[in-house]
Amino acid sequence: MSILELTPQQARARASEGARLIDVREEHERATGMAEGALGVARSDLQHDPVAYLGAVDTEVILICQSGKRSHDAALFLQQAGYSAVASVLGGTTRWQRDGLPLRRPALAPEQQDFYERYSRHLRLPEVGVEGQRRLQAARVLLVGAGGLGSPAGFYLAAAGVGQLRIADDDVVERSNLQRQVLHTEARIGQAKVTSAAAALGALNPGVAVEAVRERVTAANVERLLRDVDVVLDGSDNFPARYLLNDACVKLGKPLVYGAVQRFEGQVSVFDAGRRRGQAPCYRCLFPEPPPPEFAPNCAEAGVLGVLPGIVGLLQANEVLKLLLDIGEPLRGRLLYFDALAMRFRDTRLAADPQCPVCAPGTPFPGYLDYAHFCGVGN
């Protein structure tokens, strides 16, 4: 069987004479514009019950999609179902528009139009689609730190449509931050980082609710900060905060997306021991004891290549999205190491420590330590 293929001009002329022009794309695709005179019916709906949309089998039907493939396949289906006057538009809506033929936009509520347009590239991914994008819209993420790691991660999580970002940081913007902390600008030097971050993310995506919490994470507030969130992204730059977040996430059953940078090297992992005791490790399984302070300087002391936090923060954002969408293979039980000078990644397997004082199965939560003292640093 062969399918008659029409140019957009031919299809428009036949439609003006009474042929049914059907756009078989999904609703979110049609939101960006449909061939004038077309009726929108998703291919799956059309094939499920063609009579409901087309009527008698001798109806003249012209199908159009984005590029011509889906409409051709749907036309073959209809032909096999007994429809005798079926055609497909060569080049689809893309060629229709390129040829200068008129388009119309379906009438949608403003928020629905924004959703379909803003996230159109996500919606085309079968692994995301409308359902997955709605999951992101309903998600809550705690971002600890609005600095080098939190900046790229925050930008891309907001751009991806994560519905609520709670950002905790007690610092202010300094000129030395601008080399890598791309959420902030020269004009916002001296402003609280969380305020600056909220302004930047709100300008990028007004549909994302940013909760700015100008606080340092402590044992007194950590459980409040973790309340109701789905994933925690650790963008802190010190060991006391990392151990505290790890212990709280194990206790409360929250996945923790870890990232760290120094000089030209970075690390990323997902610690999910709170939900997978004995199967997934926690941060303490990797680092039972912190290194002495003299062997673990922070970025202010040791320096960092400006683009490195961007790379690591984006990898963290990628892991957050995978966890929220439940797709792919998260870095659970794996430590990804990146060497920027050699441009080399190394993936190391991590096992849960059966003797871990925090996450070993059956171990009661030991309570929050004096993490500054534990890590050998001052308050």
Cβ atoms of 146 and 200 closer than 8 Å: no
Distance from chain centroid for Cα 41: 29
249 is catalytic: no
Between CA 235 and CA 309 the distance in angstroms is 10
Cβ atoms of 353 and 280 closer than 8 Å: no
DSSP letter, residue 172: B
DSSP letter, residue 335: E
Match 């997934």 to its residue by tokens: 280
Between CA 195 and CA 244 the distance in angstroms is 24
| Beta strands 20-23 and 164-168, pairing class | unpaired
Between CA 259 and CA 270 the distance in angstroms is 9
Strand partners, 212: 167
Q: Which of 65, 282, 299, 359 is catalytic?
A: 299
Question: Residue 370: CB partners within 8 Å, gap ≥ 6?
Answer: none
With residue 34 as reference, give the H or E element that holds it: strand 34-35
Q: Which of 76, 28, 69 is nearest to 50 (CA)?
A: 76
Catalytic residues: 299
